């Protein structure tokens, strides 16, 4: 009975919740129906569940509209400058045409989720300066400075590299010399 109440509440079934809250003397439910209704896997597949939101594909039609003058095109969050303290402001307005090309190049180099989102925004706008696009200076620095390399497609190559790295680390830990040249480390790998 408790499990039915719990799942009725999680399922948003107000009619069943009211009925079970009235504490009826007898509740007749098929075993198969009870099992199916109180299955945790079914609960994860319900609309609005946490797992569904994290695994579902993000559609443009389900996202909020993007305003180039008010949203940082790198992180997508509000980027409104404080007119009283422009010198202390983290928000910058695009002044050059080259920034788009440079950021698209960095997107290709980074090849991660953030780069994919930024690339999608940049492809929608050919002239950031004309749109008076804004960005956070910290986002710009972080996006350009952090270098993300995609994982190799071939896992056997990756495993060999990891084995070689582990071998060099073990060698360094067990050796008594303090300094090595790069060629010595390469030879060990």
pLDDT tens per residue across span 172-185 = 777 766 677 777 77
CB of 23 closer than 8 Å to CB of 4: no
Confidence band (pLDDT; 50, 70, 90) for 52? Answer: very low
Please check whether residues 79 and 12 belong to one and the same domain. Answer: no
Overall number of domains in the chain: 3
Within-domain flag for 60: no
Range of the domain at 175: 156-188
Q: Are residues 51 and 111 in the same domain?
A: no
69 & 137 share domain: yes
Q: What is the mean pLDDT of residues 29-51?
A: 73
Mean pLDDT of the chain: 77
What is the Cα–Cα distance from 5 to 182, expressed in whole angstroms? 66
What is the structure's pLDDT at 65?
A: 75
One domain, residues 71 and 121 = yes
Q: Are residues 129 and 180 in the same domain?
A: no
Length of the chain, in residues = 189
């Amino acid at each position: 009975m408790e499990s039915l109440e719990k799942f009725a509440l999680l399922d948003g079934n107000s009619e069943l919740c009211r009925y079970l809250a009235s504490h009826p003397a007898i509740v007749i439910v098929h075993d198969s129906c009870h099992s199916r209704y109180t299955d945790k896997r079914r609960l994860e597949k319900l609309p609005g569940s946490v797992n569904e939101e994290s695994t579902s594909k993000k559609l443009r039609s389900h996202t909020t509209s993007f305003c180039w003058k008010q949203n940082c095109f790198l992180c997508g969050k509000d980027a409104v400058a404080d007119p009283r303290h422009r010198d202390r402001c983290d928000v910058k307005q695009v002044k050059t045409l080259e920034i788009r090309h440079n950021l698209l190049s960095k997107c290709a180099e980074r090849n991660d989720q953030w780069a994919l989102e930024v690339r999608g925004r940049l492809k929608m706008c050919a002239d950031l300066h004309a749109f008076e696009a804004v960005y956070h200076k910290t986002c710009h620095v972080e996006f350009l400075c952090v270098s993300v390399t995609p994982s190799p497609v071939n896992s056997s190559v990756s495993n060999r590299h990891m084995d070689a790295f582990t071998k060099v680390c073990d060698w360094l830990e067990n050796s008594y010399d303090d300094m090595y040249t790069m060629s010595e480390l390469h030879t060990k790998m």
